[in-house]
Amino acid sequence: MRTHKDQQPTAWFAATLMVVFIAICATDAVAGVSQDSSAALTPVQLKIERQRARLSSVEEEERRDAVSQLGAMHHPDAARVAVSALKDPSPSVRATAASSILDLPDEESAANLIPLLSDKDEFVRREAAYALGKTRSRSAVASLIERLLTDKQDGVRGAAAVALGDIADASAVSTLAAVLSSQVVLTGSKKNSKSKKEQNPFVLRAAAHSLGQIGNRDAVPALIAALQNEKTEDDVRRESAGALGLIGDPSSIPALRLAVTAPDPYLSKAAHEAIQAILKLKS
């Protein structure tokens, strides 16, 4: 006959087996829930979640690539995940995120991008300006004008001018024309601003081109002045001629005819094509 002491090891072993069995069942249940959750996601959602996880990487390049991959999906949900990267400590990640959120509604994209125009990094400000142009959001015009007039970096001012042309809001015409014709840009803070001539050819070209994109006749005097100024870079004069052709105001034809005789063959061609475009519009 077995005593109580003989039964103790058997009872302990049975209890241990029960604990192990319960643990295995619980693990299987959790795994099943996880698999069910993954199975419930669409292929696109799975891709998005993989990139979301990579945004937490300590490696800057992995985070930047994750943001790039999210942008390449061209999906609003992916773009919304990329928004968090606009505050990443790395400038390259923030700059990449600027173009990766453009599949959000335009106004939502613009609202997220406008603060980046004040970023301490030049590259980030520039990419934010270009991205804002692609939103076509008028809510960005005032902030872009401020960048055009105050940013110390040529690339940022040029990007702001390009973006204003992409948005094509007439309220930017007077500023773009002032930059082109009087060649004045303000630098520094609003309190301690000082004026200097805009001399960067890229900024001037962008201003002329954007005036043509907007197509407002108020820009014609500034464009004619730039076209006729022989001290102006030839490529700026070419852009001015092209812009006059896009606007289509017949009053610019005399200045364009003079430009046809310019020694620069590309300027001559641009002026000729602008005249033809204006005459075509008249007919």
- Specify the pTM: 0.82
Above 90 in pLDDT, residue 21? Answer: no
CB 164 within 8 A of CB 197: no
Average pLDDT over residues 233-237: 96
Average pLDDT over residues 237-260: 98
Superfamily of domain 216-283: Leucine-rich Repeat Variant (1.25.10.10)
CB 172 within 8 A of CB 146: no
The DSSP 8-state label assigned to residue 188 in this structure reads S
Residue 165 CA to residue 211 CA, distance in Å, equals: 7
Find the radius of gyration of the CA atoms of the chain. 31
**What is the dihedral angle through the alpha carbons of 239, 240, 244, 250, rounded to the nearest 10 degrees?**
-140
Residue 31's pLDDT band, with cuts at 50, 70 and 90, is: very low
Average pLDDT over residues 189-208: 78
pLDDT digit string, tens, across residues 100-128? 999 999 999 999 999 999 999 999 999 99
**Confidence at residue 191, expressed as pLDDT on a 0 to 100 scale:** 53
**Confidence at residue 197, expressed as pLDDT on a 0 to 100 scale:** 75
Q: 102 phi and psi, to 5 degrees? A: -75, -5
* Mean pLDDT over the full length of the chain: 89
**Confidence at residue 85, expressed as pLDDT on a 0 to 100 scale:** 98
The CATH number assigned to the domain with range 123-214 reads 1.25.10.10
**Confidence at residue 9, expressed as pLDDT on a 0 to 100 scale:** 55
Share of the chain above pLDDT 70, in %: 81
Above 90 in pLDDT, residue 188? Answer: no
**Confidence at residue 32, expressed as pLDDT on a 0 to 100 scale:** 47
The DSSP 8-state label assigned to residue 84 in this structure reads G
Above 60 in pLDDT, residue 38? Answer: no
**Confidence at residue 282, expressed as pLDDT on a 0 to 100 scale:** 82
Residue 174 CA to residue 71 CA, distance in Å, equals: 35
Could you give the 3-state DSSP secondary structure of residue 98? helix
Residue 145 CA to residue 210 CA, distance in Å, equals: 13
**Confidence at residue 40, expressed as pLDDT on a 0 to 100 scale:** 85
Residue 30's pLDDT band, with cuts at 50, 70 and 90, is: very low
Average pLDDT over residues 231-251: 97
The DSSP 8-state label assigned to residue 55 in this structure reads T
Q: Which two tokens stand for residue 15?
A: 């209890």
Closest CA to 176 of 233, 239, 256: 239
**Confidence at residue 181, expressed as pLDDT on a 0 to 100 scale:** 86
Q: What residue ranges do the domains of the chain occupy?
A: 60-104, 123-214, 216-283
**Confidence at residue 20, expressed as pLDDT on a 0 to 100 scale:** 47
**Confidence at residue 41, expressed as pLDDT on a 0 to 100 scale:** 87
**Confidence at residue 7, expressed as pLDDT on a 0 to 100 scale:** 53
CA 183 to chain centre: 26
Domain 123-214 shares a fold with domain 216-283: yes
Above 60 in pLDDT, residue 146? Answer: yes
**Confidence at residue 26, expressed as pLDDT on a 0 to 100 scale:** 47
